Amino acid sequence: MSDRRRINGPVGATIPPASEDGASREVAGSRGGRSRPPNAIRKMYLKTGVTPSASGSAYLEIETSGRSGVSGLKLSCTVHGPRSLPRSSPFSPHIILSTHVKYAPFATRQRRGYLRDPSERDLGTHLEAALRGAIIADRWPKSGVDIIVSIIEGDQDRETSKTQGDESWDLMNALSGCITVASAALADAGIDCIDTVAGGVAALVSDKGDGNPSIVIDPIPSEHDRILAACCIAYLPTRDEVTNLWFKGDLPASDAELYTKLVEKGIQASAKANRVLVECLGETVG
């Protein structure tokens, strides 16, 4: 697994020294609560055609939650193709998707390696499933398309202690962003799709104040005490179809409909992101 071609940094985490300001806030214990209503997603900025050398590209930025030290999500996606398949591959009557998701080494608190790790492969597989349902694959026989998403900045609170273990929840937010940005880049590349697909996340959270867990959309792990369960949805609004569903966590057994409610909220979050996506695509032509 070790990368021999490049000069590697030191093994293990490199944590920048915490500033006086941040440390005092941590002691005071003022974990900023959710600043938005439970059914509002964060503001996002989306732009297509940012990489001239690619067939299609897009850039997505999701705003920070307003606290210093909390970074937003910054994603860049490039689409290369449709292009001819390598000579060794067999005949394919439809387009062959290959998706790559890569965190930049500096994107998260824990420094990432240059090689893809299992969580990045996982994201790539989920992204491929989400996009495959949206693409009209038989319009492009004998061709392949590469979709590469670079996570320039992860969605992470750098001040929160590492013990919280919210890395896996960050993955959900990253995936929903990946789906939205890849869909924009595919439309920019001129690959036939049945619809624009956007990602949305809903989560069941419990906060310190009240005992009852509540459902919020587009959660930031650091804004809540505990995330019980979360789901990431890729949704086609005009078809009313879900192309990818990723559910994680434990639901309390008391409410049987909680699962459906969570999925519904995820669809709601995805539909909101889709409105931004369609607006952005309309601007590129005009």
Partner 1 sequence: MATSSGTTSIATPGQLLGPASKFQPGPGTHIHNSNLYSSLLGVVHASQPAKPPGPSKRLTKITVPTQTPAELPTLSVSRTGVSEKREVLPEVGNTVLCRVTRITPRQAVVAILICGDTVLEAEWQGLIRVQDVRATEKDKVKIYESFRPGDIVRAEVISLGDQANFYLSTARNELGVILATSEAGNNMYPVNWKEYMDPETGLSELRKVAKPY
Q: Which residues bind partner 1 (CB under 8 A)?
A: 49, 55, 81-85, 87, 89-92, 134, 136, 139-143, 187-190, 192-196, 236-239, 278, 281-282, 284-286
In contact, 115 and 34? CB cutoff 8 Å: no
Minimum CB distance to partner 1, residue 77 (Å): 15
What would the two tokens of residue 58 be? 């897009």
Q: What's the closest the beta carbon of residue 141 comes to partner 1, in angstroms? A: 6
Question: Is 174 or 198 the residue whose CB approaches partner 1 more closely?
Answer: 198
Q: How many angstroms separate the CA atoms of 20 and 109, rounded?
A: 18
2/91 with CB nearer partner 1: 91
Instruction: Supply the minimum distance, in Å, between the C-beta of residue 146 and partner 1.
Output: 12
Cβ proximity to partner 1: between 56 and 221 the closer is: 56
- Of 212 and 238, nearer to partner 1 (C-beta) is 238
**Eight-class DSSP state of 182:** H
Per-residue burial over 207-236, b = 16 or more CB atoms within 10 Å of its CB, e = otherwise: beeeeebebbbbbbbbbbeebbbbbbbbbb
Nearer to partner 1, 37 or 282 (CB): 282
Residue 12 tokens read as 């293990």
Dist. CA 95–CA 16, nearest whole Å: 45
Least distance from C-beta 204 to partner 1, angstroms? 30
CB of 60 to partner 1, least distance (A): 16
Residue 122 CA from chain centroid, whole number: 12
The answer to whether the beta carbons of residues 214 and 205 sit under 8 Å apart is yes
